[in-house]
Amino acid sequence: MVEFDDIGPEKILQVYDPKTGMKGITVIDNTVRGPAKGGIRMTPTVDVDEVARLARAMTLKCALMELPFGGGKSGIIADGKNIDPKKKEEIVKAFANALKQFCPDIYVAAPDMYMGEKEMDLFAKTNGDMKSITGKSKELGGLPHELGSTGFGVHLAALVGLEHLGIDVKGATVAIEGFGNVGWFAAKFMAEKGAKLIAVSDSKGVIYNPNGLNFEVLDKVKKEERTVTAYKDGKIISVDELLALDADVLITAAVPDLFDHSHVEKMKFKLIVQGSNIPTSPEVEEELHKKGVLVIPDFVANAGGVISSYVEYIEGTEKEMFFMVEEKIVKNTKIVLSRAKKESIKPRDAAFKIAKERIKNESKAG
């Protein structure tokens, strides 16, 4: 059941097109700071509650990163992974038509699960306004995800976290869960800074070497063999074993609900950076906080994607995007960690407080 409070949601839209069978949901959580920003996912199980929770996360993320956006999210109820391509096009066009009156004035969409660049282009053309959506192709003024804005931001949050703990990045041991668009870039940038990658996972398993994994070789193996487990100089371990490794840093970069209460006792990480969304619950974060583990929450660490979206929205360049991601992630991660330390609270609580204060202050100013 959707919870309403003094922040939102402002609107819950449920749309249907009888011709294509398209069923969609959009939640406009808050527009105090600007039009609601958030992606469209296409899954058979997406529902109003899921979309509302994700929309709230976007409200907080945009406020925390001081972007002139509110928060929103959309879901199309369909099997985006296995759907016939022609049928998918029809459904995306129907959804774009249904939201025409709202985009881009109060909602600016973006890609999410099973919705990529091609669908973003189709949405923009159907809507008739290039500002109605971000994540478009370069030909339509987009900043492609291949630039790695989210992973770049995650690695910056990790650097701030290490500095906060007084740990030198050179030689710091890092385990990364996920080697996709976020984890690949996080691994690349951390390795370039001198960190030692000791474990990396993908959907096939985990490769581990306490003496370090060579990123260039790992990348080559992944591209050729389609799995990191084909890396020769390492041992294949389970995800549970990865979570119990003796490493300085864990970067989560793929699946939600990665770990729970049962893992906490065995975890030896000094820093956990949430590159993925909701890799665990706030209750588990509280246990880790009491144990002395610094956890940088998802809507702080993985905000590089929405910052990149904003740069695309204002028709900025790739160079401007990297500059803004670095400026905002570094500055606001430091603010969050400083507030958490000062008030003896976990970083997630500090980040929530800061984001809500910025929303309230904008509301009063308006």
pLDDT tens for each residue of 158-193 = 999 999 999 999 999 999 999 998 999 999 999 999
pLDDT score at 144: 74
Domain tally for the chain?
2
Residue 1 has pLDDT above 90, yes or no: no
* Final residue in a domain of this structure, among 111, 139, 167: 139
pLDDT score at 181: 86
Percent of the chain at pLDDT > 70 equals 98
Residue 97 has pLDDT above 90, yes or no: yes
Tokens standing for residue 364: 């009063």
Active site residues: 73
- Per-residue pLDDT of 41-57, as tens digits, reads 999 999 999 999 889 98
pLDDT score at 263: 96
What's 119's domain CATH number? Answer: 3.40.50.10860
What is the mean pLDDT of the segment spanning 78-90? Answer: 96
Tell whether 90 is covered by a domain: yes
Q: 124 with 168, same domain?
A: no
Mean pLDDT computed over every residue of the chain: 95
pLDDT score at 178: 96
In which domain, by residue range, is 163 found? 149-304+332-353
Helices and strands in the chain: count of H runs, count of E runs: 13, 13
pLDDT score at 30: 97
- The confidence band for 256, taking pLDDT boundaries of 50, 70 and 90, is confident
Percent of the chain at pLDDT > 90 equals 92
- Per-residue pLDDT of 321-330, as tens digits, reads 999 999 999 9
Residue 366 has pLDDT above 60, yes or no: no
Q: How far apart are CA 255 and CA 237, in angstroms?
A: 17
CA 362, 5, 132, 98 dihedral sign is negative
Closest CA to 147 of 329, 332, 320, 330: 320
Q: 181 with 280, same domain?
A: yes
Residue with tokens 């984001």: 355
Q: 205 with 286, same domain?
A: yes
Q: 24 with 155, same domain?
A: no
pLDDT score at 365: 62
Residue 364 has pLDDT above 80, yes or no: no
Q: 187 with 245, same domain?
A: yes
Residue 260 has pLDDT above 60, yes or no: yes
pTM greater than the 0.75 cutoff: yes
Q: 133 with 207, same domain?
A: no
**Distance set, CA 98 to CA 9, 92, 126, 276, 333 (Å):** 19, 10, 10, 30, 38
- Per-residue pLDDT of 304-313, as tens digits, reads 999 999 999 9
pLDDT score at 113: 87
